Chains A and B, each alone.
Chain A
């Protein structure tokens, strides 16, 4: 299972002249960092843009989904069930179809090739998921807790902000983690809505790299390794949230 990951790292360290060697070296016997130098030289701006887009998407997702989920879980608005089903269906719409819809809208509004346009588009991947995770989590918060806050004179906003949100820290981490990763790895929206812009994300950086110099596989793989770093870091720091997110997305308790 992990061999492709190992192979990616191995190739990223292999010198260019050994790339087509037969048999290929199974270990980086003569490691070279020229690939990584190329990344530092060419790809830093792309990485910065991806970071910006990722963080922006996290903010948009949290701001939209946490309050809505609080209402769905605790205040039970009429029509909440319908909203829940709409969110489930929203998750089933293929990204490529959304991309085509957005293409026309962005063209009309003149917001093609902006980083924040991509934040808007990428958030559509995460918002329904975010609402689902938050709702599932907040339904588990005992009603006594929110009732106590109300008796102490806290309004709904106050209850949400000072009681529900702090208790939901785990859900906040899970939702942030996934919205960041999805925005970071998005390729469809980036390629349709931001192709040729001043601020392009790293996925487009790699895509151009493959297109332009499909000989320098060590540079391509080095970029791939660097682009995977957020996933690796998040996995180490937050592995239990990852598993929680996958399962909560699939089976509701």
Chain B
């Protein structure tokens, strides 16, 4: 309370009591609010500490790694000379850089396109309620829930050149066997096929839940007007689904950029660098050989983060706009 208040000429006793009361009440509210803030922060504090220790700090270490010349030894004796942007420049001039970048782009875009189209088709299919639809839809989730190492090894065996079921089936329809995983021409396609298979369930579930929110009356009105199934899809389903589609694709994009296990287990990014992406290349530099190149590996990792962040911010923008 300031002096100015007490210097004021006295008012009538009733008014004065009333202002006192409101003043006290206001102070109480303020105290209460401050206490709520404190409790709120007490509840959030562990998370903040955790984020600092297990996100910020590793990311900082990674940045530090990419700016120094690190060997396995330097982790122990702490002796890693500062090298500035040398790691980045080495990586950018590496003959692997452009193939890895293009492969990342092709892998991501092709996966997204097919996952989305197939997922949407299945979502529309499941949207007309029929018997066993629920069970069938649940079963379609299986590929998404399986550990990646399981699906990757299964696909490896199915695509095996000599004894794989895929080549056998091709043989039945008179197509010559393909060296899916061992020829530079097909390795990237193979991992994309497997990744599409894994990503369809996610698209299916999200788009299906989007379809549930499209009012049924619209379809009734449209069919009264004589619109066919395709026209209904093009004029009603697709436009109304656009916000959900945008989120699905952006999330898919951010996740697909990170895909590592699948490619590593199926092809190790090879043969040569034919199926290397930024993620597998970064791993290969850091952990994949007997002579680890942590600095360049971390540099590639940081480039990958930058790309992911770019699309991540786009995601946040799109979501904000939808909420507004």
Q: Which residues of A contact B (CB under 8 A)?
A: 1-2, 4-5, 7-8, 11, 19-24, 63-65, 67-68, 70-72, 75-78, 80, 83, 85-105, 107-108, 120-121, 123-124, 127, 131, 155-156, 160, 181, 184-185, 187-188, 191-192, 202-203, 206-207, 210, 217, 220-221, 224, 227-228, 231-232, 234-235, 239, 242-243, 246-247, 249-252
Chain A nearest CB from B250 CB (Å) reads 9
By secondary structure, the A interface counts as: helix
Beta-carbon nearest neighbor of A92 in chain B: B312
Beta-carbon contact of B168 and A23 below 8 Å? yes
By secondary structure, the B interface counts as: helix
Chain A nearest CB from B175 CB (Å) reads 15
Return chain B residues, CB-CB under 8 Å to A1: 140, 143, 197, 200
Beta-carbon contact of B304 and A97 below 8 Å? yes
A/B interface sample: 21 pairs, CB < 8 A: A24-B165, A67-B43, A68-B47, A83-B44, A89-B312, A93-B59, A94-B279, A100-B301, A101-B59, A104-B70, A185-B148, A188-B260, A191-B287, A206-B150, A217-B157, A221-B153, A224-B153, A243-B209, A247-B205, A250-B206, A252-B323
Beta-carbon nearest neighbor of A19 in chain B: B163
| 8 nearest CB pairs, A to B | A101-B58, A185-B147, A75-B40, A71-B43, A77-B40, A68-B47, A97-B301, A231-B145
Beta-carbon contact of B302 and A97 below 8 Å? yes
| B248 touches A (CB below 8 Å) | yes
Beta-carbon contact of B147 and A92 below 8 Å? no
Beta-carbon nearest neighbor of A247 in chain B: B209
**How many interface residues does B have (CB within 8 Å)?**
87
Return chain B residues, CB-CB under 8 Å to A21: 163
Beta-carbon nearest neighbor of B75 in chain A: A107
Beta-carbon nearest neighbor of A5 in chain B: B142
Among A64, A102, A108, contact of B50 (Cβ-Cβ < 8 Å): A64
Beta-carbon nearest neighbor of A12 in chain B: B154
Which B residues, 234 to 262, have Cβ-Cβ distances below 8 Å to chain A?
A: 244, 247-248, 251, 254, 257-258, 260-261
Chain A nearest CB from B310 CB (Å) reads 10
| B62 touches A (CB below 8 Å) | yes
The docked-state distance in angstroms from the alpha carbon of A238 to that of B212 is 21
Chain A nearest CB from B120 CB (Å) reads 14
Which B residues, 14 to 60, have Cβ-Cβ distances below 8 Å to chain A?
A: 36-37, 39-44, 46-48, 50-51, 54-55, 57-60
